[in-house]
Amino acid sequence: MEPLLKDQVAIVTGSGGGIGAGIAEALGGFGAKVVITDIDETKVKSRVDHLASVGITAFGVQHDVTSSESGAAMAEAVVAEFGQIDVLVNNAGISGRVPLIEMTDQEWDAMINVNLTGVQRTSRAVASLMKAQGHGSIISISSVAGRSGKKNMTHYCASKFGVIGFSQSLALELAADNVRVNAICPGIVRTQMWEVELAEISEAKNITIEEAWTQTLAGIPLLRPQLPEDIGAAAAFLASPLAKNITGQALNVDGGFEMS
Ligand SMILES: NC(=O)c1ccc[n+]([C@@H]2O[C@H](COP(=O)([O-])OP(=O)(O)OC[C@H]3O[C@@H](n4cnc5c(N)ncnc54)[C@H](O)[C@@H]3O)[C@@H](O)[C@H]2O)c1
């Protein structure tokens, strides 16, 4: 049987580490040529080297998702390298917890800019090409915080709910061109992002980091964390022909944490 994503070109934003790195490796493992983009150029280089070392064709571009110019230059570089763009995974994101009354305008703006505007900017950078090709798959990483509110995360939740609304709307806009648009809502993945959250929880509750982690896991019905490769498996499925009739959906990959 042919690999699921043979000859497909897949861009993963923010894939210098964390979930994005896992998504890129999963897509590459299913046969895609992978484009690593991240605001941090050092991370881009080391991920590309790693993927090459495991036999995956990878190309790296430094890219800030908040910038239209950076997105356009990134898409142009990918087309120059591979001639096409079949899959975009909008993964780059930031997080944080702060009560609304203490939140600065800068904290709010940064969250919306990276997590929501970044999805819009990067999707727009590839949408014309996908329309012209007559196929494509755009997958954006939302969150369980895009399904229900979380305390002290008004900015993060607003951005992640926004990603789902954006995806549904764009799915309708691009359906006639056979471009599918979906979202994935990860649960709890212990990346650098969660290390910061655990430090905050441990300080707020006066418990150790590992106690904070144990308490966090106890709230997941399957009683285990999600791994970057779990999110990668979902992305590979949504990108592949197996999902050819799936568009405008948001898929929870969260051990049963959210059920709608
Ligand atoms: N970790 C979790 O439990 C979890 C849960 C739900 C959703 N998510 C979402 O998954 C995505 C990845 O999260 P993660 O846990 O891997 O985080 P992470 O902090 O480990 O990685 C995020 C990556 O995005 C990059 N990045 C940040 N700003 C950028 C910008 N402006 N342009 C380009 N790249 C930028 C960073 O350099 C980093 O490599 C995010 O959208 C996050 O909101 C994470």
Tell me which of 191, 213, 230, 258 to substitute to probe ligand 1's pocket, judged by most ligand atoms within 8 Å of the beta carbon: 191
How far is it, in rounded angstroms, from Cα 19 to Cα 100? 27
- Written as one letter, the residue type at 158 is A
The pairing of strands 136-141 and 33-38 is unpaired
**Which residues form the pocket of ligand 1, taking CB atoms under 6 Å from any ligand atom?**
13-14, 16-20, 38-40, 43, 63-66, 91-95, 114, 118, 141, 143, 186, 188-189, 191-194
How far is it, in rounded angstroms, from Cα 160 to Cα 140? 10
Query: In Å, what is the CA distance from 9 to each residue of 146, 183, 235?
Result: 28, 19, 14
Q: Which residue lies with its CA nearest to atom 42 of ligand 1?
A: 93
Digitized pLDDT (tens) for each residue of the chain, 260 residues in all: 889 999 999 999 999 999 999 999 999 999 999 999 999 999 999 999 999 999 999 999 999 999 999 999 999 999 999 999 999 999 999 999 999 999 999 999 999 999 999 999 999 999 999 999 999 999 999 999 999 999 999 999 999 999 999 999 999 999 999 999 999 999 999 999 999 999 989 998 999 999 999 999 999 999 999 999 999 999 999 999 999 999 999 999 999 999 98
For residue 185, the model assigns a pLDDT of 98
Structural domains for the chain: 9-189+228-250 (3.40.50.720), 190-225 (no CATH)
Distance 18 CA to ligand 1 centre (A): 7
Sheet holding 33-38, edge to edge: 58-62, 33-38, 9-13, 87-90, 136-141, 179-186, 250-253
Distance 135 CA to ligand 1 centre (A): 27
Q: Which residues are catalytic?
A: 156
Residue 18 CA, closest ligand 1 atom number:
16
Residue 228 CA, closest ligand 1 atom number:
16
Tell me which of 12, 13, 19 to substitute to probe ligand 1's pocket, judged by most ligand atoms within 8 Å of the beta carbon: 19
- Ordered DSSP codes for 178-201: TEEEEEEEE--B-SHHHHHHHHHH
**What DSSP element (H or E) covers 218?**
helix 209-218
Say if pTM beats, i.e. exceeds, 0.85.
Answer: yes
Place of tokens 């150790």: 208
Q: Which residues contact 179 (CB under 8 A, 6 or more apart)?
A: 127, 130, 131, 135, 136, 137, 138
